[in-house]
Amino acid sequence: MKKYITLFTFVCVLFLGIQTASAQESAELKAKNRTVQLQKTLELDTDQSKKIYEIFLAYEKENRVLNADALDAARKKVSELLEPAQRIEFKKSFMKEKMRHEKIKGARAN
């Protein structure tokens, strides 16, 4: 019986470890995808891309649940790294994304 309890405990710990690693990879993937999307839209240089990736990675790691205030703070940091013409395009893309999220939210409410 003790062997089964030990085995069950081991499997649970293993499962939690895999889940944590998966969340870590997910955060990195989300940050990379957001950065690539902005890189294409705004024609970012290498330095901007690297800094923006770090901002999004920090956001994804710290905020597993969508938090509007934290997302706005991340967007503000990104905006500070951009050139004036890039800021305009960034704001446009942000507004499109915001409208898409509102549509999704409205559809879920119904």
What is the spatial distance between Cα 16 and Cα 108, in angstroms, rounded to a whole number?
Answer: 30
Q: How far apart are CA 37 and CA 92, in angstroms?
A: 13
pTM over 0.85, yes/no: no
Domain of 81 in residue numbering reads as: 2-109
How confident is the model over 56-107, as pLDDT tens digits?
888 888 775 556 677 778 888 888 888 998 888 888 877 777 777 677 767 7
Q: Is the separation of the CB atoms in 63 and 71 below 8 Å? A: yes
pLDDT digits (tens, 9 = 90+) for 40-59: 888 888 898 899 899 888 88
Tokens read off for 17: 């470890």
Q: At what angle do helices 2-42 and 84-109 cross, to 10 degrees?
A: 130
Domain count, the chain: 1
